Amino acid sequence: MATVDLTDKAVIKGLGSHIVMQQTIDFAETNRTAADLLQLFHIGAGQVVERAQIHVETAEGGVLTVDLGDTTDPNGLVVAANGNSAGYYNSNQALTVGTPDAFTGYSQGKFFTADGTVDLLVNNNADAAKLHVSIQIADMSSP
């Protein structure tokens, strides 16, 4: 298991702005092993990750799942995206019925009170898949 920082250290700021960021991960270029954690996006304090998407362009050809989240909830944004099936995996609202009902994970978005990262957790060895990971951020920070 390795933690790999792939973030751009610059924090994009602009009160009220909406920002879309994307990273391409090509496991054919750089193989990864199970439990590798790839820090993909640097998020500034006062920003909200509203949505996330993993697009599997090239399937792995074997078992591969990946999770997208942060250090608090490693699969809070996308749970077990199938890296062996080309397609799109999105963060969606998930409701846990109870007393009271509650939204599950970050299905309502993730507000960062301090600088942090959005991370991709590789759950299996990977050497062929190609993924595009995108997030949409709203900046709610004070100037």
Report pLDDT digits (tens) over 40-87. 999 989 999 999 999 999 999 999 999 999 989 899 899 999 999 999
C-alpha pair distances (Å), 52 with each of 61, 74, 96, 137: 24, 13, 20, 9
Q: Is the dihedral of CA 69, 74, 77, 80 positive or negative?
A: positive
pTM given for the model:
0.87
Domain extent listing, the chain: 17-135
CATH ID of 17-135, from 1.10.3470, 2.30.30, 2.60.120, 3.40.1000: 2.60.120
How far is residue 130 CA from its own chain's centroid? 15
Cα maximum dimension of the chain = 48
